[in-house]
Amino acid sequence: MSTDTAVGPPSREVRQTHRVVIRFAGDSGDGMQLTGDRFTSEAAAFGNDLATLPNFPAEIRAPAGTLPGVSSFQLHFADYDILTPGDRPDVLVAMNPAALKANIKDLPHGGMLIVNTDEFTKRNLAKVGYESNPLEDDSLEPYTTHHVAMATLTRGALEPTGMSKKDAERAKNMFALGLLSWMYHRGTEGTEQFLREKFAKKPELAEANILAFRAGWNYGETTESFAVTYEVAPARLAEGTYRQITGNLALAYGVVAAGQQSKLPVFLGTYPITPASDVLHELSKHKGMGVTTFQAEDEIAGIGAALGASFGGALGVTSTSGPGVALKSETIGLAVALELPLLILDVQRGGPSTGLPTKTEQADLLQAMYGRNGEAPVPIIAPQSPADCFDAALDAVRMALTYRTPVFLLSDGAIANGSEPWAIPDVADLPDLTTTFATEPNAPDGSGEFWPYLRDADTLARPWAIPGTAGLEHRIGGLEKADGRGTISYDPDNHDRMVRLRQAKIEGIEVPDLTVDDPDGDADVLVIGWGSSFGPIGAACRRVRAAGMSVAQAHLRHLNPMPSNLGDVLRSYRRVVVPEMNLGQLSMLLRAKFLVDAHSYTKVAGLPFQAEELAGVLTDAVKGDLPA
């Protein structure tokens, strides 16, 4: 990829900038996700750090041109390590009036707006309630607005192909991509090659899209409308080889890797649900790596089959979102009683009920923690970013296999669809997850019997004796079992002991100590979060520190069991602030467990926190202005 060819005419100013946030917004049918994705790949290939936030409606194709049909993709790229997809765009590309109306309020005054004027017809304006054409009145005055007739220009560029007007116009998203690629000095080869591969079976479509892409590029180059182009240098990330990755892809890779590292066949039992389905789609491609995927009749069957596979000695995995977890709860309880390994991937979305299927939220924490009958403890791990899903999956499988237990991994919509650079790990450095099956009778009384619930003294895990092993035939089930022997037991003392043993086993899981980031070393406010809010919280901390104040940040990856130093950490700060995309679930746990007066800051809007807003909260905390 060339980086130095893309310079405008000599008269044109090239401005160096450290970071840019671009938002592509259009109709669901306009291909905004693809456009954003492609620009992301260009930024990644160029070596920028980046973070993305796709935002799309739950309807596959809401009526064209309407507000509910608007789909957008925000991309933040920079020459240094960034933490979030950005609060507000610097550049907004609006493909129609609906996209303009839905997104303009996020564009700061002075921001750049590029509009596809062709869609601003009377009818389309009326559809979204514009009484006058914003391109003609003064409502867009605060912005640097560029009027571009993208559809017309694309049609013109595609004329030689003989394509119908309608088909030609479809490529206008590539026109937009070309224009932006030019403006940010991105090469063209990567996208052209991508389009050739994507439309390998329809070369005429590939050519049409490439023509549109080049037309956009040339439009920037040859017209005088754009006086400035921008350069964002590559980021100085840690040394390594990088690729761009979304959370769901990293999750799927983590599962494949866990199968390889444990030398176990992987069995995914699942039922499609947004935003978790991509994990199924991806894993279904990796049969050649020992992964079997089973699309069941419902979530209950998905997890049941996964548990059955685990009973048989496979690595059982199930993937879902909150409504699916609700259906799986009884089987998770069974897995707790059976003490078999099982990985439960919950990609959280807005709730309750069907809620906001395509939006993000982190409100399943207490469901994962307590959403079962009886005392049924389950370890919980939450990745903090898209790439982190890979490591989190491996760690979850480590816990599942070592402690013979179901394990929850809580991702969310923002992580699942968002992307960032990932330092590709060397497989030789991945953890060894091999485990052993029981092969011999183990009764301590020398009877030669097999006791399926005789525990390992260190881990309290029980032996995993899989069918096909002679001499270890045994029956297990959801009924309470006698400690050790594992036969049905209704004995009150035994039940009390077993409840405590199961709890102790989970509490005894080894998890790393919590580390605190306090560069000034004198902070008396600690902000602690979990999951996908890592980025915005971290970005907020940077802002607060840049303003000369001290704030400490810690992020909980292990939510059950929690790190053993957590209580000490919490107690060593004057004020603890807990931002969450729920109504205070972690803060409730921290208050209950550690008796700390944690301040809960919550927002449940279906979108990630903004760094600006959290910086305000933290500033108030540092100044002692938070309500008690």
Partner 1 sequence: MTAVELGQPSFGGGLDLVPTTDETQKAKDYTSDQEVRWCPGCGDYAVLASVRSFLPELGLKRENIVFVSGIGCSSRFPYYLDTYGMHSIHGRAPTIATGLAVTRPDLSVWVVTGDGDALSIGGNHLIHALRRNMNITILLFNNRIYGLTKGQYSPTSEVGKVTKSTPMGSVDAPFNPVSLALGAEATFVGRALDSDRKGLTEVLRQAAAHRGASLVEIFQDCPIFNDGSFDVLRKGDEVAERLIPLVDGEPIRFGNEGEYGVVRSASGGLEVARIADVGEDAVVTHRAGEEDPTQSFALSRLSDQDLTHTVTGIFRKVDRPTYDDGARGQVTAATEQAQQRGDNLQALLSGKDTWAVLPEPENEQ
Q: Which of residues 4-63 bind partner 1 (CB under 8 A)?
A: 41, 44-47
Of 373, 428, 437, nearest to 404 by C-alpha is 437
Q: Of the two residues 485 and 603, which places its CB atom closer to partner 1 in the complex?
A: 485
Decide: helix, strand or coil at residue 43.
helix
| Residue with token string 């509009």 | 115
Query: Nearer Cβ to partner 1, position 109 or 490?
Result: 490
Task: Identify which of residues 132 and 434 has a Cβ nearer to partner 1 in the complex.
Answer: 434
User: Which residues in 162-191 contact partner 1 (CB under 8 A)?
Assistant: 190
Closest of 501, 505, 512 to residue 558, by C-alpha: 512
Q: Minimum distance between the CB of residue 198 and partner 1, rounded to whole angstroms? A: 13
Site stretch for partner 1 (CB under 8 A), options 25-33, 98-106, 282-290, 553-561: 282-290
Footprint of partner 1 on 561-600 (CB under 8 A): none
Which of 34, 140, 233, 300: binder of partner 1 (CB under 8 A)?
300
Nearer to partner 1, 161 or 469 (CB): 469
For partner 1, the closer of residues 427 and 628 by Cβ is: 427
Contact 256, 266 (CB under 8 A): yes
Token duo for residue 232: 């964002």
- For the segment 239-268, give every residue that binds partner 1 (CB under 8 A): 239-244, 253, 256-257, 260, 265, 267
Cis peptide before 357 (omega within 30 of 0): no
Integer Cα distance of 622 and 628 in angstroms: 13
- CA–CA gap between residue 603 and residue 611 (Å, rounded): 13
Among 29, 308, 431, 616, binds partner 1 (CB under 8 A): 308
What is d(CA 31, CA 96) in angstroms, rounded to the nearest whole number?
Answer: 13
To partner 1, the closest distance from the beta carbon of 282 in angstroms equals 10
Is residue 77 within the footprint of partner 1 (CB under 8 A)? Answer: no
The verdict on 469 binding partner 1 (CB under 8 A) reads yes
Residue 566, both tokens:
């957590």
Q: How far is the CB of 426 from partner 1 (least distance, A)?
A: 8
Binding range to partner 1, per CB under 8 A, among 113-121, 145-153, 279-287, 547-555 = 279-287
Window contacting partner 1 (CB under 8 A); options: 381-389, 412-420, 462-470, 548-556:
462-470
Q: Listing from the earlier edge strand, what are the strands of the sheet with 49-55? A: 49-55, 70-78, 19-27, 91-94, 112-116, 144-148
Instruction: Say if CB 95 and CB 71 are below 8 A apart.
Output: no
Q: Between residues 473 and 625, which has the closer beta carbon with respect to partner 1?
A: 473
Looking at beta carbons only, is 68 or 477 nearer to partner 1?
477
Strand-pairing partners, residue 316, are: 267
Binding residues with partner 1: total (CB under 8 A): 76
User: Could you tell me where the beta strands, DSSP code E, fall in 6-120?
Assistant: 13-16, 19-27, 49-55, 70-78, 91-94, 112-116
Does 536 sit behind a cis peptide bond, omega within 30 degrees of 0 on the bond before it? no
Q: Which is nearer to partner 1, 239 or 493 (CB)?
A: 239
Task: Identify which of residues 334 and 498 has a Cβ nearer to partner 1 in the complex.
Answer: 334
Q: Which two tokens stand for residue 458?
A: 């260190």
> Which of 233, 237, 356, 454 touches partner 1 (CB under 8 A)?
237
- Shortest Cβ distance from residue 93 to partner 1 (Å)? 23
The first and second tokens of residue 164, run together, are: 């119908």
What is the bridge-based pairing of β-strands 266-270 and 315-320? parallel
CA atoms of 164 and 408, how far apart (whole Å): 51
Q: What is the CA radius of gyration of the chain?
A: 27
With respect to partner 1, which residue has the nearer C-beta, 107 or 301? 301
Q: Which is nearer to partner 1, 265 or 616 (CB)?
A: 265
Of 138, 224, 426, 445, the residue at the interface with partner 1 (CB under 8 A) is 426
Among 563, 251, 506, 270, residue whose Cα is nearest residue 383? 251
Rounded to whole angstroms, how far apart are CA atoms 606 and 362? 9
Nearer residue to partner 1 within complex by CB, 298 or 597: 298
Largest separation between any pair of C-alpha atoms in the chain = 92
Q: Based on CB atoms, which residue is closest to partner 1, 283 or 615?
A: 283
Residues 6+ apart with CB under 8 A from 317: 255, 266, 267, 268, 269, 270, 306, 342, 343, 344, 345
Q: Which residue type sits at 301?
A: A
Under the binding rule (CB under 8 A), the answer on residue 484 touching partner 1 is: no
How near is the Cβ of 532 to partner 1 at its closest, in Å? Answer: 22
Binding mask 383-422 for partner 1 (x = CB under 8 A): ----------------------------------------
Closer residue to partner 1 in complex, CB, 194/217: 194
Question: What is the closest distance, in whole angstroms, from the C-beta atom of residue 44 to partner 1 in the complex?
Answer: 7
Which residues are CB-contacts of 435 (< 8 A; sequence separation ≥ 6)?
Answer: 262, 264, 401, 402, 464
Contact 195, 210 (CB under 8 A): yes
Site for partner 1 in 312-341 (CB under 8 A): 312-314, 316, 330-331, 333-334, 338
Interface pick for partner 1 out of 297, 458, 493, 522 (rule CB under 8 A): 297
* Span near partner 1 by CB under 8 A; candidates 167-175, 303-311, 520-528, 611-619: 303-311
H-type helices in 321-383, by residue range? 322-338, 365-370
* Span of 223-231, 348-356, 465-473, 489-497 interacting with partner 1 by CB under 8 A: 465-473
What's the rounded Cα separation, in Å, for the pair 332 and 338? 10
In the list 15, 236, 281, 593, the residue contacting partner 1 (rule: CB under 8 A) is 236
Site for partner 1 (CB under 8 A): which residue of 212, 280, 461, 472?
472
* Segment interacting with partner 1, rule: CB under 8 A, options 152-160, 284-292, 518-526, 571-579: 284-292
Q: What is the DSSP code string of 548-587?
A: T---EEEEESEEESPPTTHHHHHHTSSEEEEEESSSSHHH
Closest CA to 8 of 335, 230, 237, 273: 230
E-only strand ranges, 10-69:
13-16, 19-27, 49-55
Among 18, 202, 263, 285, binds partner 1 (CB under 8 A): 285
Shortest separation between residue 477's beta carbon and partner 1, angstroms:
3
Binding residue for partner 1 (CB under 8 A) from 125, 306, 509, 578? 306
